[in-house]
Amino acid sequence: MSGNARHGYSPGGVWPATSGPSYAVGHSNLTNGSASFNGTNQLFASDFVPLCHEDFAITFWIYSNLTSNNRILGYQAAPSFNPGITMTLNVSGNPEFLSFWIAGGGNIDGISVTSSSAVTANVWTHIAYVHNGSTRQGTIWVNGVITGNTSNFGSYEGCTTGISPNQWHNGTPLNIGYAYPSQFFVGMLDDIWFFKERQLNASDISTLMSLP
């Protein structure tokens, strides 16, 4: 549920999900305070659309049962389609933010940031990605500390306002609990926040981490 009436929902359609997440005790011990995903067939969606030329931020608490190649959220038009943004735990358990440009018909250009700090399994960890629309770059935060900065991969260093080939893939839904390449998240997520046209600083993130 969202206080701004931007609630999560089941995307339906071609997605291979049969149900939304179940619910479990959250990071602040609230009953049914977190969304719990089985890693097999559960996700929900948001209409949040992050664009590379705008400020935005994504924050959440994560309790990961799997710390190697665990997909958290991302935009994908359908299974096996090219992705837009993706947040994941990589093979070493380090949080990553990736975004792919529309270039040459494939996902060959974009930006990426990998946290220098790995997530511990079965422990609540706070993760944030904060994007600067002017520089087209961003930072990843783990437990209130900057642990990585974006770098470009491929030939494009910037983006335009939706003109191919430089704008990354975008649209709805943004899938929570599922991301490219067609993998589900296993674990729990709590206090998922999306901020449009706004960057967050250390004080903002500290405030979010202190909320029940």
pLDDT band at 58 (very low <50, low <70, confident <90, very high): very high
| The pLDDT of residue 103 | 59
State the Cα angle at 195 between 13 and 176, rounded to 5°: 30
* β-pair partners for 57: 130, 195
Enter the pTM of the model. Answer: 0.92
Query: Mind giving me the DSSP string for 59-101?
Result: EEEEEES--SSEEEEEEESSTTSPEEEEEEE-TTS-EEEEEEB
Q: Look-up: residue for tokens 């929900």?
A: 44
Q: How many Å is the Cα radius of gyration of the chain?
A: 16
Instruction: Report residue 1 CA to chain centroid gap.
Output: 18
Each domain of the chain, given as residue ranges in start order, spans 22-210
pLDDT over threshold 70, residue 199: yes
Lowest mean pLDDT among 116-125, 168-177, 197-206: 168-177
Stretch 5-27: mean pLDDT: 79
pLDDT band at 102 (very low <50, low <70, confident <90, very high): low
- In the chain, the amino acid numbered 1 is M
Burial of 58 (0-12, 13-18, 19+ CB in 10 A): buried
Please tell me the distance from the alpha carbon of residue 147 to that of residue 73, in angstroms, as a whole number.
19
Please tell me the distance from the alpha carbon of residue 116 to that of residue 196, in angstroms, as a whole number.
26
Fold of 22-210: Jelly Rolls (2.60.120)
| The pLDDT of residue 173 | 81
Please tell me the distance from the alpha carbon of residue 19 to that of residue 41, in angstroms, as a whole number.
7
The string of pLDDT tens digits covering residues 155-180 is 766 676 656 556 677 666 889 999 88
Contact 185, 37 (CB under 8 A): yes
Contact 142, 61 (CB under 8 A): no
Q: Look-up: residue for tokens 């659309």?
A: 49
Q: What are phi and psi of 168, to 5 degrees?
A: -75, 160
CA distances from 152 to 29, 108, 112, 156, 192 (A): 39, 11, 6, 7, 26
Contact 78, 14 (CB under 8 A): yes
| The pLDDT of residue 128 | 98
pLDDT over 90 percentage in the chain? 54
